[in-house]
Structure 1
Amino acid sequence: MSIGQPVDQNGHVNIWHRRVMPTTAIAVAALMMSACAAGPVARTPVTDAPSQPASEVIVSPDPQQSAEPQTGAADVFRAWVEASRIPDVDTACAALAPDLQSRMIAEVNASGAVSVETCEQMIAAAAELYAAVGDDGAIDVAVQQETATNATLFVTYLASGDCGTVVMQRTGTEWIITDESQECAG
């Protein structure tokens, strides 16, 4: 973590400050101008750039796990990014652990860009901000480690160059993005 880097009470880098604050003025202006538009704003769908794994994927079976996952953690994360940009607030919020939802809501509110109370409001506001600055959610995902119940991904957002480590857990058949996820310090 860099000196002067905004952190929360748990020492996590404030990702909303780094990702949203530099573009807040542009986004707010674009949102205000779009409010006068005659129709809905067209959104660019999320695309995936070819990814190159940062390291070998480690997959170890869990004898306690009876149901097989529908998709791997990287696919679930890509689907989450897509849902967060559309926005499909129910799908996007369902993929976030409650502690991560709370942390992200606090970070959004601390940024001063918008004020939200729920995960659904946060996802909708973030989708509008990203659309206003032309961030389509294109990402590069490298699986650092994946087992039947845990995964660590390294993600780079192509529009901004921002990156982060995404930590996921699977209980039953669903992958959840945990509060251990952090943006790269820089």
Structure 2
Amino acid sequence: MEHRVRRASGMAGVAAAAILMIGGCASTPAAEETVPTPAGSEAPASPTPDPQESAPRESATEGFLAWLDSSRRPDAAKACAGLTPELAARMLTELNATSPVRAESCEQMITATAELYRALGQSAEVDVAVQRETDQDAVLFVTYADSGDCGTVTMSRPGTSWVITEQTQECGR
């Protein structure tokens, strides 16, 4: 079944290359808090439920749109955490080879491309068609409304969050 989503984030999109080619790191979960037990009292018998386990899992489309939003704000650390290191490296290489903009890290790349998108006034409105989605992986076909640039976004969910992988490709590649 194919799902379509349209979203305008108010930010912009310069090219599918920048959008589909940003790679990154895995996010680190926060450490669990421990509550001291007063002297003479017993600790609770059952552990506190993990909020991640009871919270509904986001779809791959929601994960991609969250990544797109963080890449446009930009929240460079969050955007880079949504990419595999291999994809980030490939995107950096392509950006540096094809653009007057230079970046040495994923964070610099996210910040620079967000500034370009804003300067060009391009919308980040996208059409997302789900080609395949399981609990662990997904393939989305993404088309940017203003430019018509498109690509296949391949994602995996190694934990509770989606990550865009190096199998992601622009149309025509």
Is 1:120 aligned with 2:107? yes
Is 1:180 aligned with 2:167? yes
Following the alignment from structure 1 to structure 2, what is the Cα–Cα distance between the partners of residues 174 and 85? 19
Distance 1:156 1:173, change over 3 A: same
**Alignment match, 2:46:** none
Alpha-carbon contact 1:85-1:136 (below 8 Å) kept: no
The percentage of aligned residue pairs carrying the same residue is: 51
- Deviations along 1:27-62, one digit per CA (max 9) or x if unpaired, are xxxxxxxxxxxxxxxxxxxxxxxxxxxxxxxxxxxx
Gaps of 5+ in 2: 1-15, 22-51
Higher relative contact order, chain-length normalized (CA < 8 Å, sep 6+): 2
- Deviations along 1:129-175, one digit per CA (max 9) or x if unpaired, are 11111113111111110001010000001111100000000111111
Q: Secondary structure at the match of 2:162?
A: strand
Letter in 2 for 1:15: A
Following the alignment from structure 2 to structure 1, what is the Cα–Cα distance between the partners of residues 107 and 56? 26
Would you identify which runs of 4 or more consecutive aligned residues in structure 1 move more than 6 Å?
none
Alpha-carbon contact 1:69-1:174 (below 8 Å) kept: no
Q: Find 1:72's aligned residue among 32, 35, 59.
A: 59
How many residue pairs are counted as aligned between the two chains? 125
TM-score (norm 2): 0.67
Following the alignment from structure 1 to structure 2, what is the Cα–Cα distance between the partners of residues 74 and 112? 28
Q: Find 1:129's aligned residue among 100, 104, 116.
A: 116
Alpha-carbon contact 1:84-1:127 (below 8 Å) kept: yes
Alpha-carbon contact 1:83-1:91 (below 8 Å) kept: yes
